[in-house]
Amino acid sequence: MHPAPTFTAPTRPRVAILIDGDNFPRAEVAKVEAEARLRGEVTIRRVFGDMALHKDWAQDIAYTATHSPTSAGKNRADMMLVVAAMDLAHRGLATAFIIVSDDRDFAPLVNHLREQGFWVDWLGKPKAATPKPNVVPKPKQQRVDPMVDQVKTIVAAAGAAGFPIHSLGPAGQKTGIKISETLQKTWRAWLLAHPDLFACDPKGPQARVRLATQPVTP
């Protein structure tokens, strides 16, 4: 008789979560856990940092807290996390790592572990969207043309009857207006270039101009 075949259940990757507690908030750990469960069985959970400053991490029973006090302006948490990662890899206690920190100094560690064949994910704290300031756009300033104001004053004085277009030349000269210095060169062309301000009669020696808002005298 042949011996009964034996089946070996596939071994899931053993995942170690190593968190830089000085650079990652305890409130976001659920997202890390969800990511880790997608990669395998989480067997090691450790957090490194100055626990005197991060009491929320120190009280988290799911994570082994490694107290790394800040001394002389230097934080030892990074070094202790690197040592722990290398130790776990060397002893084969983890086959996958999730390094949690915004510190770019962990790049050599991540690269080294990947070169050794370990699966490594490097997570940082979520970046909050920067709210855009509620800036009210400034209204566009209209360029003031002194000539427009002067001509409006002349035309308005004539009322609904209108001001003779042929008389604008002499009237304008009294206020220093020179139609020859405009792009249009003639009074009718200049008035027609401002249809929102002036209304002109058809061409003729008696043609008059009125403000666009003035009614025509019957």
For the chain, what is the radius of gyration of the CA atoms?
41
With cut-offs at 50, 70 and 90, classify the pLDDT of residue 9: very low
Rounded to 5 degrees, what angle do the CA atoms 92, 18, 124 make? 135
Residues of the domain holding 174: 146-211
The closest of 174, 148, 168, 165 to 207, measured between CA atoms, is 165
Same domain (yes/no): 109, 73: yes
The total of structural domains in the chain comes to: 2
Same domain (yes/no): 169, 69: no
| Domain-located, residue 139 | no
Terminal CA-CA length for the chain? 124
Same domain (yes/no): 114, 176: no
**Strand order, beta sheet including 208-211:** 163-164, 208-211, 198-200
Same domain (yes/no): 30, 106: yes
| Domain-located, residue 35 | yes
Question: Of the given ranges (29-33, 42-46, 89-93, 209-213), which has the lowest mean pLDDT?
Answer: 209-213
With cut-offs at 50, 70 and 90, classify the pLDDT of residue 88: very high
pLDDT tens, 144-200?
A: 577 888 888 888 888 888 899 988 888 888 878 888 888 888 898 889 888 888 889
| Domain-located, residue 205 | yes
Distance separating alpha carbons of residues 13 and 95, to the nearest angstrom: 6
Domain containing residue 55: CATH number: 3.40.50.1010
